Structure 1
Amino acid sequence: MKRIYTYLICGAVAVLLLAGFELYSSLAPERHFRSDQLPVLASPSTSLTASAEPTAAIAETAVAQAPLTAPDPAPATVKAEPPNAKASEPASGFNALILGIDGENGGGRSDVIIVVHVDPDKKSVALVSVPRDTRVSLPGIGMTKLNHAYFLGELQGRKKGVQASVEAVSSLFRIPVHYYVKTDFLGFSKMIDAIGGVDIELPQDMLLSGSETVLRQGVRHLDGNTALEFVRERYSLAGGDFDRQADQAALLKAVAAKMLTGEQLPRLPRLIKQAKEEFVETNMSVSDIASLTLLFKDKSELGIRHVTLPGKALTEDDPLLGSKLWYWSVDAGEVEAVARDYLR
């Protein structure tokens, strides 16, 4: 009888081990994110093209409800896309759009716009910061600021702001967008606190204008509120919005590093569930996020690159306000080069 029990126990253990191995294998990023199973939120062939003039009702509502972005030291316009430009699918991997909304409860405009390309086969991650004042063509509006896409979309219905932003980014870079992650001020701050804060290395002292706090040079531990100030600060930075975008990318890397510490790994399943319920809105499933975490597990092999979309400052008429605004002007050739080198 003891021998039978032994066989049963050994058999049960073997089944559990096989099940665990199968689960781990299914979550392996190179298998989990197969190109034929990726969702597609927008692609260049399906993204809407803009009309030359704004729809009157949309324009009037937008002007009445909010001042659409104050001039920034660095904004302008994107040159018209060549008529024969071809859409390109990524050779491998997937693209995700990160949106940071400048408000709470989803209201406001997209203050942070980062396109992420993840290639599980190459174990690489690329972050492309897109200046919020980049001048793009929006459906029914014409040439205006990229961060107006979210605001105008939300005027037409809840969650339409995300889709409008996804389509605008897909059209700009001529890439498919598979996932999105959206958070606001409150969600971001709570998320940082949930993982116990993050450590950031500062090359020099940094003034946080909002609280008039000075972060000294070196490694500094940031809680949720301080991290929020850190990623929003631009007035005290020599490079203005561009230095801020670099800081935002640095903080994303710090969050990834913190999530993979020995202290946090056992809490990952609960943290992922909590993040989806309380901190962020995303179309990524729990298994998607778990698989992505496995990619970051071996940091020695993972390469993370970052670039800010290059361009130049320009003042031009805005169809929504009927007055001149600052924009960030990007050449179509430069956009294509960034898409080719970082997002495909």
Structure 2
Amino acid sequence: MTRRAWWLVVLNILLPGSAQVLAGSRGPGRFGLRASLTFVLLLVLTGALYKVNPALVLTVATNSIGLWVIAAVMVFYSALWVILTFDTLRLSRLVKARPKARPYIAGLATLVMIVVAGSSGYGAYVATTASGVLSTMFITAPSEPPVDGRYNILLLGGDSGPDRDGMRPDSMSVVSIDAETGQAVIIGLPRDLTLVPFPEDSPLNAAYPNGYGYEDYCDVTACMLNAIYTEVDQKSPEMYPNAGAAGSEPGIEGMRDAARGITGLTIQYYALIDMQGFSDLIDALGGVDINVAERLPIGGKEDLSDVEGWVEPGQQHMDGFTALWYGRARHGSSDYDRMARQRILQQAILTQVTPANVLTKFQGIAQAGQQVVKTDLPQGALGYFTNLAGKTKALPMSTVELVPDNGVDPTDPDYDYIRGLIAAALSPSVPE
């Protein structure tokens, strides 16, 4: 009877339902076997399909309906495992097994039940939570096609801290991604870029046909690139009456037109990351590892008075607060140094974030993500872009910073030269 009890418990672990069939409870056993084999078959088919078409599997896994179906399957299998485990213990007749073996048999069955049912239950929780988060963060709209084989995404870092009046994008870049290979190029846009041109179809082109701030004319104090957001948002939101319906804002659309004019690229999507909430996101991910080149002040003034602390040089594992100041600090250095650090931070996050990291800390990441990110990326395209991001992560990422070191004078920029720099980075010559 002791051997029988061990066999039934082990069989229940290996193939739920088989213990019931062998012990004579054929009705529940057959149901459990069919359910277990169906679940295994689904896993095998999903794995095979992922090998052939990963974007399709990821599309289902990032779709609200698909996530609820996954959650329902997880809950069903979790409940089935609990029921079959207790039934297996009943059928094993532990009272007839050796007294010393009883706690070990029951303990093994209970431990595996807790692990499997708990994992399935957590998977259902992640799926339902993810469905809500993705529905909140991403819009429902048709996907945009690649242009010249690339997707170009405007990435804005909005600084809306307690020491700021409103929000202004102090970090601006365009991430250009090859739609097939995932090879990415980050184009850094300095916030003090002047005489920004706008495409002919932009409402800002009519207001500034010779470039933003030509002859020092604009509707805000400083006629620089990052002031376009403030001007459109606060002075002339009527320029973009359909922005809200498209999951955007007038100020963001003004910045998108500016990025189009500067780079000559079609900007299909944008992502606005609130820098204050960014700190929470880094904490939720468990921090980020950065090799700091120089000592950087935390807070303080331009003369480095009232500094709250320092980001010390060397290899650092940063929490969100430190990472935010690593990317934000400019006192004692320059805006261009800050741009370079922001690229390092972006690449470090992309490299160090893993699926396991996200799953184990999902609740904190989900809460931070809802507060941090605003984007017009459609939810239906998430599977494709998640797959593309996996390719991007595996490849070296290049940058084009529009700064004096690259021959760009932000106070008197040559936009033909700038577009030539970008074109060369996106289509590098290949030696014979």
Aligned to 2:414: 331
1:1-344 alignment, distance < 5 Å: 6=33, 9-19=36-46, 21=49, 24-26=54-56, 38-39=143-144, 90-104=147-161, 107-135=166-194, 136-137=196-197, 139=204, 140-141=207-208, 142-144=211-213, 145-155=224-234, 156-157=236-237, 159-210=249-300, 211-237=307-333, 240-260=334-354, 262=356, 264-267=357-360, 273-285=366-378, 288=381, 291-297=384-390, 301-311=394-404, 327-343=410-426
The offset of 1:203, in angstroms, is: 2.6
C-alpha contact (below 8 Å) 2:58/2:382 kept by paired residues: no
In structure 2, how many angstroms separate the alpha carbons of the residues matched to 1:293 and 1:25?
Answer: 8
- Asked if structure 1 preserves the Cα contact closer than 8 Å seen for 2:233 and 2:250, the reply is yes
Query: Is the contact between residue 104 and residue 184 of structure 1 (CA under 8 Å) also seen in structure 2?
Result: no
- Measured in 1, the distance between the counterparts of 2:299 and 2:38 equals 63
User: Which residue identity is paired with 2:269?
Assistant: Y
Structure 1 CA distance for aligned equivalents of residues 44 and 197 of structure 2: 54
Deviates more, 1:274-283 or 1:171-180: 274-283
Q: Determine if contact 1:272/1:289 at 8 Å carries over to the other structure.
A: no
Within 2, Cα distance between the matches of 1:268 and 1:296? Answer: 20
Distance 1:39 1:300 in 2: 22
Moved more, 162-171 or 327-336: 327-336
Report the residue type matching 1:187 in the other structure. G
Task: State the shift of 1:231 in Å.
Answer: 1.2
- Bigger relative contact order, structure 1 or 2 (CA pairs below 8 A, ≥6 apart): 1
Query: What's the secondary structure of 1:137's corresponding residue?
Result: coil
Query: Which structure's residues are more often strand, by fraction?
Result: 1
The number of residue pairs the alignment matches comes to 275
Secondary structure of 2:257's aligned partner: helix
What is the letter of the counterpart of residue 336 of structure 1?
Answer: R
**How big is each residue's C-alpha offset from its partner over 1:108-151, in whole Å with a ceiling of 9 and x where there is no partner?**
32211111012252231111110011111352244232112211
1:285 CA displacement: 4.2
Q: Structure 2 CA distance, aligned partners of 1:235 and 1:192?
A: 23
Letter in 1 for 2:395: L
How far does residue 98 in structure 1 lie from its aligned partner after superposition? 0.8
- Residues 198/309 of structure 1: CA separation in 2 closer, same or farther (3 Å cut): same
> Could you list the per-position Cα deviations for residues 48-70 of structure 1 after superposition, in whole angstroms to 9, with x for gaps in the alignment?
xxxxxxxxxxxxxxxxxxxxxxx
Q: After TM superposition, give the deviation of residue 271 of structure 1 in Å.
A: 6.3
Q: CA deviation digits over 1:184-228, x for unaligned, max 9?
A: 232222222221221110133333453352322211122222222
SS in 2 for 1:123: coil
Q: 1:268 to 1:287 in 2, by over 3 A?
A: farther
Q: Which amino acid aligns with 2:168?
A: R
Question: Residues 209 and 147 of structure 1: is their aligned pair in 2 closer, same or farther, counting only changes over 3 Å?
Answer: same
CA distance, structure 2, for counterparts of residue 334 and residue 310 of structure 1:
12
Give the alignment's TM-score, normalised by structure 2.
Answer: 0.55
1:268 to 1:180, Cα distance in 2 relative to 1, 3 A: farther
State the match for 2:93 in structure 1: none
Q: How far did 1:301 drift?
A: 3.3
In structure 2, C-alpha distance between the alignment counterparts of 1:310 and 1:332, rounded to whole Å: 12
Taking a change above 3 Å as real, the CA distance of residues 308 and 39 of structure 1, as seen in their structure-2 partners, is: same
Letter in 2 for 1:330: P
Q: Aligned-pair RMSD on alpha carbons?
A: 3.4
Q: Which moved more, 1:247-256 or 1:154-163?
A: 154-163
Residues 179 and 274 of structure 1, relative CA distance in 2, 3 Å threshold:
farther
Cα distance between partner residues in 1 of 2:355 and 2:290: 15
| Local SS of the residue matching 1:143 | coil
- Relative distance call for 1:333 and 1:313 in structure 2 (3 A) is closer
Is the CA contact (8 Å cut-off) linking 1:202 and 1:217 kept in structure 2? yes
Contact 1:123 1:303 in 2 (8 A): no
**8 A contact 1:101–1:109 mirrored in 2:** yes
